[in-house]
Structure 1
Amino acid sequence: MSVLLLRLAGPMQSWGDSSRFNKRRTRAEPTKSGVIGLLAAAQGRRRTDAIEDLAALSFGVRVDQQGRIERDFQTAIQRLPGSKPVAMPLSHRYYLTDAVFLAAVAGDQALLEGLHEALGAPRFPLYLGRRSCPPMGEISLGVHDGELEDVLRAAPWQAAAWYRRQQGQRVDLELVLDAPPGTPLAETSRDVPLSFDPERREYGWRDITRPDPVAMSNPDGRVEPDFFAVYGGA
């Protein structure tokens, strides 16, 4: 199997899968629909174009740098011809700040190679969930051979130096993967894009599993004090 690795980092990200009306929430990690939208934009696909080949890719995420959730309040004025301006309801929008993720999609090698090339010279602007969230740095880390979970576990840690210094000398990186059929206690999320067409935007369900995290050595991390040493050991 071939796997395309993606580094998703930026000042702000927002990955909603159940936002409604005036509350626009974000998940704690990238959604499959959001990443598929990013890949489609890189290739220059329009919202009315078919995306079945992209939606069929297997998907997974490794949380390399946990972000903080921030809330933003937004207002808008609606102006209709011949009438006074009307204030719209206050909108609550949630974002992840200072987060870094390693995402992966797996499938046909030729398709993934084309996506890698497209990410190097995208046809449309790319963003991390919302248009106000541009990515920072190179996104594609290339196409790799292997199983999706194995490739995510083996990839180098992508966290910033300042973040590493704030962690301990051993860090557990969470994994969030597409769940194989029949996985017990799998989560469900309406996160498979069937159509991005504004007139008939549709999403299907996907099962999600969270296997054991990736244990990452962090020599730059802080040393935890040994309280028992004061008393000559445990």
Structure 2
Amino acid sequence: MSVLLLRLAGPLQSWGSAARFTRRTTENAPTKSGVVGLLAAAQGRRRDADLSDLAALEFGVRVDQPGTRLRDFHTAHHSDTLKAMPLSERFYLADAVFVAAVSGEDRLVQRLYEALLEPVFLPYLGRRSCPPSRPVTIAEPRDVGLEQALREARWEASDWYRKKHKTDARRRGRPVPGMVRLNLLLESLPGTVPEMTLRDLPVSFDLRHRRYGLRGLRGAEVRVPVAAGDTALPPPPHEPTALLAPVAPRSD
């Protein structure tokens, strides 16, 4: 079994699990359905494709930078009649950073890693209006347990958040901590009672009948070292649309 770590960072993210009608909420961390959708899009799977292999992957998330909840109002019109649709509320997480992990059969995980390097469809963080600000892949798949991989992964928080972490300690008259405490959200262990449940297990993304199952979750905490002078890695060149061919102008 292999584990693939994903860096989910961007100006805005939105991971809905119970969004209905005019109120589109977001969870505080990436959902399994959202990340499976990202992986399926990278492979070029259509919405009516079989998702059973991706849904069977073990999934977990580490909250490196929780972000701030943001509410926006959304207006739209029907493309044919131009009739205004009801005003809706859209909720987002601003300036959040997560490390997500999926674990499964070696060949499948390797194919997912390769697909993320050259995605068929552009990846986005829950909604199409939320592109990632940095490459999603962190490193090649590893042959370790999912929880261990999340506990050992480097802290991916941005520089301003790291500085705030140190400043808050000094304001309280405490030494700058050498460790940072981060929350983990993991799938509940077989045979145990889950601490919570979430309807984010994807069964079908078909627009005619989207279906999701319940998934049991458990929380945990991890202490990640913060070396003296540690800063976020400089972002590499990242333009998600660089490989798209320009569309020729219409002659009419």
Normalising by structure 1, we get a TM-score of: 0.88
1:79 deviates by 6.3
| Aligned match of 2:106 | 109
Partner of 2:233: none
Count of residue pairs brought into register by the alignment: 217
The residue number in structure 2 matching 1:42 is 42
Give the Cα–Cα distance (whole angstroms) in 2 for the partners of residues 174 and 140 of structure 1: 21
Please say if 1:198 is aligned against 2:195.
Answer: no
> Within 5 Å, which residues of 2 pair with 1:152-167?
152-167=150-165
2:7–2:136 Cα contact (<8 Å) kept:
yes
1: CA distance, partners of 2:80 / 2:135: 43
Asked whether the 8 Å contact 1:104–1:152 carries over to 2, the reply is yes
Kindly state the Cα deviation for residue 80 of structure 1 after the two structures are TM-superposed.
5.4
Cross-structure match for 1:231: none
Partner of 2:94: 97
Match of 2:249 in 1: none
Q: How far does the alpha carbon of each residue in 1:124-174 deviate from its partner, in whole angstroms, 9 at most, with x for none?
A: 111000000001211112201111101100111111111101014242111
CA offsets per residue over residues 93-116 of structure 1, 9 Å max, x none? 000111110000001010000000
| Cα deviation digits, residues 31-75 of structure 1 (max 9, x gap) | 000000000000000001111000000000000111101000112
Match for residue 181 of structure 2?
Answer: 172
Distance 1:135 1:88 in 2: 29
Q: Identity rate of aligned residues, in percent?
A: 53
Q: Does the aligned pair in 1 maintain the 2:152–2:224 contact within 8 Å?
A: no
Moved more, 164-173 or 202-211: 164-173
Indicate the SS of the match to 2:98. strand
* 1:50 alignment partner AA: D
Partners of 1:137 and 1:80 in 2: how far apart? 37
Q: Distance in 1 between matches of 2:105 and 2:134?
A: 26
Classify the secondary structure of the residue corresponding to 1:194.
strand
1:35 is paired with a residue whose SS is helix
Larger Rg: 1
1:156, 1:77 → 2: CA distance? 44
Determine if contact 1:67/1:98 at 8 Å carries over to the other structure.
yes
RMSD (Å), alpha carbons: 1.5
Unaligned runs of 5+ in 1: 222-234
Q: 2:222 aligns with which of 191, 196, 214?
A: 214
Q: Check whether the contact 1:164–1:220 (CA below 8 A) recurs between aligned residues.
A: no
Give the Å deviation of 1:183.
2.4
Structure 2 unaligned runs (5+)? 167-176, 231-252
The corresponding residue for 1:230 is: none
Task: Report the secondary structure of 1:144's partner residue.
Answer: coil
Q: Which amino acid aligns with 1:166?
A: K
Structure-2 separation of matches of 1:215 and 1:54: 29
User: Which one of 129, 133, 156 corresponds to residue 130 of structure 2?
Assistant: 133
CA distance in 1, matches of 2:218, 2:143: 22
> Is the partner of 1:99 in helix, strand or coil?
strand
Q: Distance in 2 between matches of 1:101 and 1:76?
A: 31
| Partner SS for 1:87 | coil
CA contact (8 A) 2:151 2:224 kept: no
Q: Tell me the distance in 2 between the aligned counterparts of 1:93 and 1:182.
A: 37
Report the equivalent of 1:10.
10
Aligned-pair CA distance for 1:88: 2.3
Partners of 1:200 and 1:21 in 2: CA distance: 15
Residue 178 of structure 1 and its aligned partner are, at CA, apart by 0.8
